[in-house]
Structure 1
């Protein structure tokens, strides 16, 4: 959205509610707390931390080369999902998307703000994920970035720890956000709420379905997660186990996304 005039920006804002009214899942708008922290600052911080993570993996000879079969597969799946991202967040059109694979036994994957994606070989090999299940994982992680959950958590931290109302009046919301960013926020260690996780599940289902991946794989994915962890939460969702309620919520929303999947298969 940078460089667009106020008229175009206003049109984009007016168009935003249509994203929630169209066919697919319904999760409402993004949290107002995210507005306390500048998106550009969060995305720049994400880029810096992403590069640091990749450099560390490279030093440990754990960063997969571009011709690694699993990385080729991940990037192919991402190429199908990413075109559907902007419907959920217009900023995604300008993101410099990246997908990388890190050699590790961790059952883990994530997407930082700005479209910086990483998978660990452990989640692919241990759970023996098929393409539809990989799309469910990737859709879930991309959804966190599109819904700006990290930015929201940082905004809530600002409101709680710094007194958002007072500082916004004295400094302006932008400076408040810079204060939070300058505090050394570690994006990989941020923990999302149950509501955030539910949103990511549902938006991820829709992203996968629109990309032509079977959204029912989201159910088998979480069943595999539960079996692997024997009921304990997996490492990548340390405070938010899948559980029967989570799977039930996805099952309830399958009728909303299955037509999208069927339509995508025809196109």
Structure 2
């Protein structure tokens, strides 16, 4: 198949993906309609104490249920568009692929320790897919929708500990609903009462080769700090070495210095972040050592058949 035919096929797949999502988008309009009233009631819950320090281990309060539902519906729609296009272009790896099994196994290990940060996450339908693309990137969207691009494995070659720290970081962004900041009043007023969904994550019309189509999303320093601490805590409780959090971001920064990579663009890597991770290592190591003492290394090896599923790759199984 020539380049022009492949582009045509991809365009057709994207159109089909939008058609498949139309019914789900219709249901989203009702959620958007009640968002305005609920947004004012949502508590400004946080896990910081009066001194401003993020308290590791402190559960977050659940925010407005209407907002949660809206974020999860938008994420689900866009995730299915992305994976639908990947399947049509034969880019979604089969669920038997070792890279998929590796990511699914780590997600399966991490999720039991994520729920205290957002109890609603226990009701999420967690899904994992690995997509063939040169992007050095990974995401966890609200609702537990995880996607990893093969460029992460090809360019970074992470250890299991590093991969767990990265996935924990992405899960933390979803748990803390950092995408919510994009839902400002003007966006809500534009979409309230319509059948259109705000494109928060940019998965519609995504070009796997060029990477174009994603929004210019860049987490701020507070978001990154929360995701670093919560993600590292989750992974440490699951029995992964927290020292890998430092080496992970140092290695990504080194690659980004040679050639810019997507993960560093959306997750700015600063000395302040690295220093904060180092400063918290004694506490995280204590958590990790308790996990290791309970035999998590052996437990993890014995449950490598993942509980996390992906409904979207049925044709590949």
TM-score by length of 2: 0.66
CA distance in 2, matches of 1:179, 1:251: 48
2:101 — aligned with what?
72
1:173 — aligned with what?
none
1:58 — aligned with what?
87
Match of 2:115, SS state, is coil
Residue 187 (str. 1) matches residue 214 (str. 2): no
Equivalent in 110, 114, 133 of residue 85 of structure 1? 114
1:243 — aligned with what?
270
CA distance in 1, matches of 2:171, 2:232: 11
CA distance in 2, matches of 1:93, 1:31: 14
1:205 — aligned with what?
232
Is the contact between residue 218 and residue 267 of structure 2 (CA under 8 Å) also seen in structure 1?
Answer: no
CA distance in 2, matches of 1:203, 1:180: 36
CA deviations 1:178-232 (Å, max 9, x no partner) are 5699452322434322211111111111011011000110111011111101177
Equivalent in 100, 123, 129 of residue 158 of structure 2? 129
Cα–Cα, structure 1 residues 117 and 239, in superposed 2: closer, same or farther, change >3 Å? closer
Shift, 1:234, TM fit: 3.5
1:208-227 correspondence to structure 2 within 5 Å: 208-227=235-254
CA distance in 2, matches of 1:255, 1:184: 42
Is the contact between residue 140 and residue 147 of structure 2 (CA under 8 Å) also seen in structure 1?
Answer: yes
CA distance in 1, matches of 2:89, 2:245: 32
Equivalent in 230, 234, 243 of residue 261 of structure 2? 234
Count of residues in correspondence between the two structures: 234
Any unmatched runs of 5+ in structure 1?
1-15, 168-175
Bigger drift between 204-213 and 34-43 goes to 34-43
Is the contact between residue 59 and residue 118 of structure 2 (CA under 8 Å) also seen in structure 1?
Answer: no
RMSD in angstroms over aligned alpha carbons?
3.1
Cα–Cα, structure 1 residues 227 and 31, in superposed 2: closer, same or farther, change >3 Å? farther
Match of 1:230, SS state, is helix
Residue 41 (str. 1) matches residue 70 (str. 2): yes
Any unmatched runs of 5+ in structure 2?
1-44, 203-214, 295-317
Is the contact between residue 136 and residue 151 of structure 2 (CA under 8 Å) also seen in structure 1?
Answer: yes
2:137 — aligned with what?
108
Q: Which has the higher helix share?
A: 1
Cα–Cα, structure 1 residues 30 and 83, in superposed 2: closer, same or farther, change >3 Å? closer
Cα–Cα, structure 1 residues 25 and 195, in superposed 2: closer, same or farther, change >3 Å? closer
Cα–Cα, structure 1 residues 20 and 243, in superposed 2: closer, same or farther, change >3 Å? closer
Cα–Cα, structure 1 residues 92 and 36, in superposed 2: closer, same or farther, change >3 Å? closer
CA distance in 1, matches of 2:196, 2:238: 37
Is the contact between residue 182 and residue 200 of structure 2 (CA under 8 Å) also seen in structure 1?
Answer: no
Shift, 1:243, TM fit: 2.4
CA distance in 2, matches of 1:78, 1:98: 9
